[in-house]
A = this chain, B = another copy of it.
């Protein structure tokens, strides 16, 4: 019978940790893909996520095997969406960066920004659109077929307005963090 070697005893713990990190880095970058960042940028964040101290552009470059300009622009994108911060490192002239690891903050910021922009665009357009349609509807000289079309459009936009009012509310709760009062984080 083949000798059984218990890898968890003689095995390389280092290798095991690295394997775990590789797996999580893949998962993180794949999902960040869904959050409006390119796979390369996502992979950079995921890599930084497992560095427990700030890292420099040169270290990023080495870790990912990419160019420094690429790291420079990627890390800026991550700063733009507030999940990476620049930190000052004593004794080093290089810029250092550290990943924001609190996903709750990430959620609040990402959806806060995203929804806010959408809500504003819609509410502005809807207001104008409904005013215009109202004029058509209330004009006694408008012929019947057109008035009907205008009324259909108007009602449809009114439904949209109700939705965007709701989304506006959700956005405010998300940005302020109050959403975690409405939908609490379960303790275990």
A182 neighbours in B (Cβ, 8 Å):
182-183
* A59 within 8 A of partner (CB): no
Is A13 a contact of B160 with CB atoms below 8 Å?
no
Copies in the complex: 2
Name the one of B17, B129, B147 contacting A149, with C-beta atoms under 8 angstroms. Answer: B17
Q: Which of A19, A166, A182 gathers most chain B CB within 10 Å? A: A166
Contact of A153 among B20, B117, B122 (CB under 8 A): B20
Rounded to whole angstroms, the CA-CA distance of A126 and B26 in the bound complex is 12
Besides A101-B159, A169-B183, 5 new A-B residue pairs in contact (Cβ under 8 A), listed by A number: A20-B132, A34-B114, A162-B185, A165-B188, A179-B183
